[in-house]
Amino acid sequence: MTALAITAEDRASAAIEAVLATQWRRVPAFVLDSPPGAGKTGIVERLAVQSFARLNERVMIVTLTNEQAFDIAKRLARGFPRIPIHMVVSKQLEIPDEVADLPSLTLADSASALPAGPMISIANAAKWSWFDHHEVMADLQIIDEAYQLPDYQFVQIAGLAHRHALIGDPGQIAPVIQTELERWRCDPAGPHVPAPDALIARHPATLRLALPVSRRLVQDTVSFIQPAFYPELAFEALTPVRPMGYAVPGIMPTDIPLDAPTHGQSMTMIELPAMMAGDVDRAMAGTMVATVRRVLQRQAFLIEEDGRRTTVTPQMIGVACAQVAQVAAVRERLWPDLSDVLVETANRFQGLERPLMFVQHPLSGRADATAFHLDTGRLCVMLSRHSVACWIFGREGIASQLRRYAPVGDRALGIDADPEFIGWRANEKLLDQLARHNRIHAVPAELR
Partner 1 sequence: MNQVARVAKLRGTQPAQELGTRGIERVARNPDCLRLKALTIAGVSPAKAAQDILHRDDVEAQSPFALVLDQKFDRHVLQNGAANLFSLYVEKGHLEPAESKIVSIADFAPGPSFAQCRRRESETRRLLALKLARDPAAPNLIIQPRLVLDFGGVPHPIEPDYLVARDDEPFYRVGVLKSYADRGGKTDPADLRAACRQAAVGVAALRQFLSAGGADAMIAAARCDLILKVTGFFLPTLQRMAILGEVDSIERALADAPTSLEEIEALVPTWGTLSDPAVLVAIPSRYHSNCREHCALWTHCREQALAVSSPALLGEHASEYLAPAGSIIRAIELMKNAPGISPRTEAEAIVQAELARAYRTLSEASNG
Partner 2 sequence: MADVLDLVARLAAFDQQRAIRHASHRQVAIQPHTLIMCPLAMAGEDTAVHAIAIGGINQPPEICVIGDPRQRDEQYALIAWLGERIERYFGACRARGDFPQFWVSSSAAAGHLDILADRLRFTRDNPPIKRVGELLTYATERMPYAGQQALMTATGALSTLFATGQHQGDDEHLGVFLTWLAPPPGLSLQNAIVQAEREVMGVKTDPEFDRLTLQPLVSAYDAAKKSGASPQELQFRYQQVASVLTPIVTRIYDAVQQALRWLDQPIPEAPVLGELRRQEASAFASFMLGRDAGAALPYRDGPKAAAFKMVEREHALQSLAADQSYGDRMAAARSRWTGHLISGSVVGGTSVREGKKTVHRLVIASEQVNLHLRPRDQLVLTRDPRLQVVVEDVRIASEGTHLHVRIKKGHQAVGVPLTGAQVELGADRANWDMLIRKRGRMAARLTTLPWTHTDGPAPAMQPLAVPTDLQAAIEALR
Residues interacting with partner 1, by CB under 8 A? 181-187, 275-280, 282-283, 366-369, 403-416, 418, 420-422, 424-425
Q: How many residues are listed for the chain in this entry?
A: 448
The least distance separating partner 1 from the CB of residue 170, rounded to whole angstroms, comes to 18
Site string for partner 2, 319-338 (x = CB under 8 A): ----xxx--xx-xx--x---
Question: Binding pattern to partner 2, positions 38-77, x when CB under 8 A?
Answer: --------x--xx--xx-----------x-----------
- Out of 6, 116, 205, 252, the only residue in the binding site for partner 2 (CB under 8 A) is 205
Least Cβ distance, residue 405 to partner 1 (angstroms): 8
Neighbours of 421 (CB within 10 A): 17
What's the rounded Cα separation, in Å, for the pair 13 and 30? Answer: 18
**Contact partner, 420, from partner 1, partner 2, none, Cβ < 5-8 Å per class:** partner 1
Strand 85-88 with 105-108, pairing: parallel
The binder of partner 2 chosen from 5, 10, 11, 13 (CB under 8 A): 13
Report the partner that residue 263 touches, choosing among partner 2, partner 1, none (CB closer than 5 to 8 A by kind).
none
How far is Cα 64 from Cα 150, in angstroms, rounded to an integer? 10
N- to C-terminal Cα separation, the chain: 58
| Contact criterion met (CB below 8 Å) for 155 and 193 | no
Asked whether 113 and 93 are in contact (CB, 8 A), the reply is no
> Which of 110, 115, 203, 445 forms a contact with partner 2 (CB under 8 A)?
203
Which residue number, 200 or 267, has a Cβ lying nearer to partner 2?
Answer: 200
Site for partner 2 in 129-148 (CB under 8 A): 129-130, 134
Residue 151 binds partner 2 (CB under 8 A): yes
Torsion, Cα of 97, 102, 105, 109 (10° steps): 10
From partner 1, partner 2, none, interface partner of 410 (C-beta below 5 to 8 A by class): partner 1
Which residues are bridge partners to 269 per DSSP?
A: 392, 440
Using alpha carbons, select from 300, 316, 313 the residue that is nearest to residue 248: 300
The CA distances from residue 322 to 170, 255, 261, 392, 437, in Å, are 20, 25, 24, 12, 25
204 binds, among partner 1, partner 2, none (CB under 5 to 8 A by kind): none
Angle at 413 between CA 410 and CA 416, to 5 degrees: 80
Task: Count Cβ atoms within 10 A of the Cβ of residue 243 and give its class: 0-12 exposed, 13-18 middle, 19 or more buried.
Answer: middle
Choose, by CB under 8 A, the member of 147, 154, 246, 358 that binds partner 2: 154
Give the nearest distance from C-beta 286 to partner 2 in angstroms: 15
List interacting residues with partner 2 (CB under 8 A). 13, 16-17, 20-21, 24-26, 28-29, 46, 49-50, 53-54, 66, 79-80, 82-83, 94, 96, 129-130, 134, 150-152, 154-156, 158-159, 162-164, 177-180, 182-184, 187, 189-192, 199, 202-203, 205-206, 279, 323-325, 328-329, 331-332, 335, 339, 348
